[in-house]
Amino acid sequence: MSAGRRAVSALGALAVVLGGLTGCSADDPREGCHWMDDQSVADGADATVILVDGTTSTRGGGSGAGDVDYGPLIGDLLDEDGKSNQVISIGTFGGSGGEVEWTVQRRSADWRRSNDNASNQEDNREDANRCLEDDITAARRVVPAGEGTDVLAGLAAGAEMFDGVRGERRLLVLTDGLSTTGCADLTSARFGSAQDLKSIVSVCGTQGEFGELPDLRGVRVTFMGLGHSAGGQPSADSARRAWLGKLWKALCERAGAGQGSCVVGKAPVSRAGESGEHTGGALPDDPVVSFGEGGARTYTLSGAALFATDSARLRDKAEPALVELAVTARTTPSLDRVEVHGYVDPRGTRANDRELSQARADTVADKLVEHGVPAARVKAYGEGVSPGCPADAAEKSGTREQRLQCDRRVDVKIIGK
């Protein structure tokens, strides 16, 4: 069975409540749908959670021009033969913690149970289609409160809506899949080989039963819109979208959903025109995912977070950050080299400055090699006293102590060919 057909089957029950895309009455957007608000949830009902990515990369600007248009994606998944015993939740996710702003929570859309008359049942089904589409449009306009994008955290929040559900559980994720924080941070990824992909999945699942992954056991997950960003954002080509699809399918399966329960939709994606102003204020800042374009990136690590005073021995809490950095280096296609530059603040002796900065750079370099970065491509440099904070950190280093913290750092430069 094709991936597109599996997506249709997985979300067949969603069809009966989202079939029409024409919108409700202009006079009363909830006209004909009040029975959904009043109806109790039947025992054994199936549940569908729809997560809408509200982060910057899916938005074309404050007016909504050029936003990714998710409406057609839902329409392409519809199946008129679905069941009616359905509970719907719709929410917008965003921010580094994956916070979800729920437009709809556990709303019954059981149009057959809503009325004994067959004709009235069909009317209710059609009304539910239109009004739930309006709910999705409303969710599309919500601006996340926090900065950054952690898609995995959004999935975890969405999965919590399945607590107590005894029927089938379906999660439809409308997103470009471009995480900018957390273990699946893609801001420096090069969208490369299968081994690169495995490294990210491995890091995300390193601690606990699922690591940083959500618990998706017993959930059928469909991703739609992966790699498709809004106007004004970098755009992925078909090869990079394919890699991104493989990544999210692998993360989904590692999170317990299992093979066959994670589907990447292939429906074409378009950008909307003026979709109405976003609610909730200005869009928060979010790093840009460049899909591997650009030759070099520098990552600044706090020396105080890595080492104790006058020590080159790593603190225990420093390891996760270095593991992530190793994954970033390993997932850089055409990696040329990794340069590790150690710095100290000006309070030590000149002889010890160079020795300590070199020892710290060596320690970080060794840790990167330990986690899979080819040793031949890693070089460590003890730079001694820092010449000053990097330009992007200078504004945050106003006090003397802040400047000292910035001076005693390790810079890791990942350079592609």
What are φ and ψ of residue 355, in 5° steps? Answer: -65, -45
At 12 the pLDDT is: 42
pLDDT at 362 over 90: yes
pLDDT above 90 as % of the chain = 26
Same domain membership, residue 190 and residue 318: no
- Report the CATH number at residue 68: 3.40.50.410
Q: Mark whether 43 and 182 lie in a shared domain.
A: yes
Q: Are 135 and 259 contained in the same domain?
A: yes
Number of domains forming the structure of the chain: 2
- CATH assignment of the domain containing 345: 3.30.1330.60
Q: Are residues 254 and 381 in the same domain?
A: no
For the cut 60, the answer to whether the pLDDT of residue 27 exceeds it is no
Q: Are residues 223 and 313 in the same domain?
A: no
Name which of 398, 400, 396, 365 is nearest 379 in CA terms: 365
In the DSSP assignment, the letter for residue 154 is H
Query: Do residues 326 and 233 both lie within one domain?
Result: no
List the domain range (segments joined by +) for residue 37: 3-271
Q: Does any domain span residue 167? A: yes
Question: 388 versus 172: which is more confidently predicted?
Answer: 172
* Inside any domain, residue 349: yes
H-assigned helices in 194-318: 194-204, 238-252, 303-306
- Residue 165 within a domain: yes
Three-state DSSP state, 73: helix
Residue that wins the pLDDT comparison between 282 and 181: 181
Q: Are residues 224 and 125 in the same domain?
A: yes
Query: Do the domain assignments include residue 111?
Result: yes
Residue 284 falls within a domain, yes or no?
Answer: no
Residues in contact with 378: Cβ distance below 8 Å, sequence separation at least 6, in sequence order? 337, 338, 340, 365, 368, 369
**pLDDT of the residue at 269:** 77
Residue 271 scores a pLDDT above 80: no
Q: Average per-residue pLDDT in the chain?
A: 78
User: What is the rounded average pLDDT of the residues 191-206?
Assistant: 78
Both 91 and 34 in one domain: the answer is yes
Higher pLDDT, 193 or 106: 106
pLDDT value for 84: 64
Residues in a beta bridge with 341: 381, 411
Decide if 276 is inside a domain: no
Q: Do 324 and 263 lie in a common domain?
A: no
Over the stretch 239-262, which tens digit does the pLDDT of each residue have? 888 999 999 999 999 999 988 899
141 and 79 housed in the same domain = yes
> In terms of pLDDT, which residue wins out, 410 or 234?
410
Lowest mean pLDDT among 175-179, 240-244, 268-272, 348-352: 348-352
Would 281 be classed as within a structural domain? no
Q: Are residues 65 and 185 in the same domain?
A: yes
In a domain, residue 217? The reply is yes
Does residue 412 carry a pLDDT above 50? Answer: yes
pTM (predicted TM-score):
0.65
Same domain flag for 17 and 134 = yes
Mean pLDDT of 288-314: 81
Q: Is the pLDDT of residue 375 over 80?
A: yes
